[in-house]
Structure formats: structure tokens, C-alpha cells
């Protein structure tokens, strides 16, 4: 459960304190200023909670209810139009604290990237953000969604773990102290089948090491853009599910034509890819030990 206490609100206010002088030129009395500050604090935490979870929900709706896609398209188009005002209206930029403005616009940018991706790039909602100073930050947020979505669909995360994505967004935006996630009292039973059994994944560690080593060699002289293309394609395929328990080579990538890969190898491509693109991204894949061993072998040739 997402919770914001008085302590969190005080912490948030301290973080934007240096920019509150901007309100002096607006002509508001003290109560008016306090109301705007409260709106900023509530608005940013509300967006931080909703933005990543909305991505998960919209993707689930898109996959499960094709008949709703036209309505979904119109709804998201309206949302994007509203979000764009934060980027284009000078008055908002003039009085908003820098942290609030940067974080909110970055999440709007991430949602624009998500919408374009969801509709197969039939839209260009990301275009207005490309020349802004938050585009790279928006890409980081969207990359975090992709990696978590792939892990979720690969059944390596138990139900409810998508809320870790909220924490990941907060870490990227440096908003960790603005809220807390509290455990609810509902206990869920985790099914220990082949795709959710951590013991089985541990048994495959030797294979994971060799796949990591092979991928490090493969990526050695590859341009970063090509690595990003591979990692993102795996992330996209992962939203439909990648079975790492099956040893057969039954997956293919447009970015690596003429080859077929196992599910585990596909997940390794994404894991090592994000290590190259942005090592701070948490993919949700428990390959740290295997990657560490492979990296030592690679460095020692």
C-alpha cells in the first residue's frame, strides 16, 4: 500500500524549499501559497504512484480486451494532450519548483514513450519531449517499466511485485523519501512450478554464466544503439511471456536475424544489455552472481 505521512510531506517540502520564493511574485496571501504547495506535494506523489501502475494496467487491458483498444486509444490521446501542458505552458514552468517540474515532466515523457510503444509507434507522443532536458530521464523510466514487465511475464516475479516499479521510479527521480510502501495483511500463496521456482533458477546458474559470457563477447564491439535495440526487443517480447524453463531454442529476434535462442538466453540478453546501457536499472532478474562470474572470465579472457 502506498502511504504518504506528515513526515513525508515535511521531507518533500524541505526538498523544494529553495524554490518556494517563486510564489512571492504571484500575489497570493499565505493561505494561498500553502494551498499551492500542498497541491504540488500531493500531485507529485500521486503521479509517482499512478504513472508506473497505469502502464501495467493499460498494457493488461490492451492484451486482454482487444475490443476496447479504440476507446483506450482515445482516452490516452486525451491524457497526452493534458500532460503536454506541463511542458509547453510558461506559467507552469515559471512558478513550479525545479524538482517537481523535472520529475513530473519526466514521468509524462515516460508515459508518452509507453503510449507510442503500446500502439506500435502509430503515434508520436514522445516527439515534443525529444529536445527537452528530461528526455533521457523519461527513457530511463520507460526502460525500468520494460524490464519489470518482461520479468513479470516470464513469471520470475510473484503477483503484486509490480509495485516495486513505483520504488524504481522513485529511485531514478530521487524521490525515495516522499512516501513508503507498507505491506498489506493479505498473504498470497506462491506457486512453486518450474517458472516461479527460485531453486530451479539457481540450478540453471551454470548455463546463465555461459550465456552471460557469450553475450559479453557478442556485445564487445557492438554499438550501444544496437545493444539497446536488442535489449528493448527482448523487453517487448517479454510482455507476451518468455519461458526460461524450456531449454529449446525457439525464440528469434529481428535485431539478430538468422539465429534462434532459448528463453534463458533471451533474458540474459536483456540483463547484460541493461548493464551496458544503464547499470542502475533494476531488471528484476536474479543474475547478479552469474554475471559476476562471467565478467571475471571475460576480463581474464
* 187 band by pLDDT with thresholds 50, 70 and 90: very low
Give residue 198's pLDDT. 55
> Angle 121-124-129 (CA atoms, 0-180°, nearest 5)?
130
Q: Rounded to an integer, what distance in angstroms lies between the CA atom of residue 21 and that of residue 296? A: 52
Q: pLDDT tens, 126-142? A: 999 998 999 999 999 99
Give the global pTM.
Answer: 0.62
Give residue 159's pLDDT. 65
Q: pLDDT tens, 213-248? A: 999 999 999 999 999 999 888 887 776 678 777 778
Give residue 199's pLDDT. 58
Residue by residue, DSSP assigns 170-212 as HHHHT-GGG-EEPP-S---PPP-STTT-HHHHHHTHHHHHHHH
Query: Could you tell me which of 111, 125, 129 has the C-alpha nearest to residue 48?
Result: 111
Q: pLDDT tens, 68-99? A: 999 999 999 999 998 888 888 877 778 888 99
H helices within the chain, ranges in order?
6-16, 30-64, 69-88, 90-95, 98-118, 135-153, 164-173, 198-203, 205-219, 224-238, 263-277, 288-299
CA gyration radius, the chain? 21
pLDDT at 200 exceeding the cut of 50: yes
Structural domain boundaries in the chain: 2-181, 198-299
Answer for the pair 155, 161: CB distance below 8 angstroms, yes or no: no
Answer for the pair 146, 178: CB distance below 8 angstroms, yes or no: no
Give residue 192's pLDDT. 37
Percent of the chain with pLDDT strictly greater than 90: 40
Q: pLDDT tens, 247-284? A: 788 888 988 988 899 888 999 999 999 998 888 887 77
Q: Rounded to an integer, what distance in angstroms lies between the CA atom of residue 282 and that of residue 95? A: 34
Q: pLDDT tens, 154-180? A: 455 566 777 888 999 999 999 999 998
Q: Which distant-in-sequence residues (6+ apart) come within 8 Å of 211 by Cβ?
A: 264, 265, 268
Q: What is the DSSP letter of 17?
A: G
Average pLDDT, the chain: 84
Answer for the pair 145, 283: CB distance below 8 angstroms, yes or no: no
Q: What is the mean pLDDT of residues 144-155?
A: 70
Q: Rounded to an integer, what distance in angstroms lies between the CA atom of residue 57 and that of residue 60? A: 5
Amino acid at each position: 500500500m502506498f502511504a504518504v505521512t506528515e513526515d513525508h510531506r515535511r521531507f518533500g517540502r524541505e526538498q523544494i524549499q529553495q524554490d518556494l520564493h517563486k510564489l512571492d511574485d504571484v500575489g497570493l496571501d499565505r493561505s494561498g501559497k500553502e494551498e499551492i504547495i500542498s497541491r504540488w506535494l500531493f500531485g507529485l506523489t500521486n503521479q509517482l504512484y499512478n504513472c508506473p501502475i497505469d502502464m501495467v494496467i493499460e498494457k493488461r487491458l490492451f492484451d486482454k480486451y482487444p475490443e476496447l483498444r479504440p476507446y483506450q486509444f482515445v482516452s490516452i490521446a486525451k491524457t497526452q494532450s493534458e500532460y503536454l501542458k506541463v511542458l509547453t505552458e510558461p506559467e507552469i514552468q515559471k512558478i513550479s519548483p525545479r524538482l517537481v517540474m523535472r520529475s513530473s515532466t519526466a514521468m509524462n515523457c515516460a508515459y508518452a514513450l509507453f503510449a507510442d510503444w503500446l500502439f506500435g509507434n502509430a503515434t508520436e507522443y514522445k516527439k515534443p519531449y525529444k529536445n527537452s532536458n528530461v528526455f533521457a530521464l523519461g527513457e530511463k523510466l520507460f526502460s525500468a517499466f520494460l524490464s519489470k514487465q518482461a520479468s513479470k511475464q516470464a513469471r520470475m516475479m510473484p503477483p503484486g511485485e509490480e509495485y516495486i516499479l513505483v520504488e524504481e521510479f522513485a529511485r531514478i527521480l530521487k524521490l525515495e523519501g516522499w512516501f513508503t510502501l507498507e505491506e498489506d495483511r493479505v498473504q498470497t500463496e506462491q506457486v512453486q512450478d518450474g517458472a516461479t521456482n527460485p531453486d530451479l533458477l539457481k540450478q540453471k546458474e551454470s548455463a546463465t554464466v555461459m550465456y552471460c559470457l557469450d553475450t559479453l563477447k557478442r556485445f564487445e564491439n557492438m554499438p550501444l544503439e544496437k545493444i539497446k535495440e536488442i535489449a528493448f526487443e527482448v523487453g517487448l517480447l517479454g510482455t507476451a511471456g518468455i519461458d526460461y524453463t524450456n531449454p529449446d531454442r525457439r525464440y528469434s529476434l529481428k535485431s539478430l536475424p538468422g539465429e534462434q535462442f532459448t528463453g534463458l538466453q533471451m533474458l540474459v540478453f536483456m540483463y547484460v544489455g541493461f548493464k551496458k546501457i544503464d547499470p542502475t536499472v533494476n531488471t528484476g532478474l536474479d543474475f547478479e552472481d552469474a554475471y559476476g562470474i562471467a565478467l571475471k572470465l571475460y576480463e581474464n579472457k
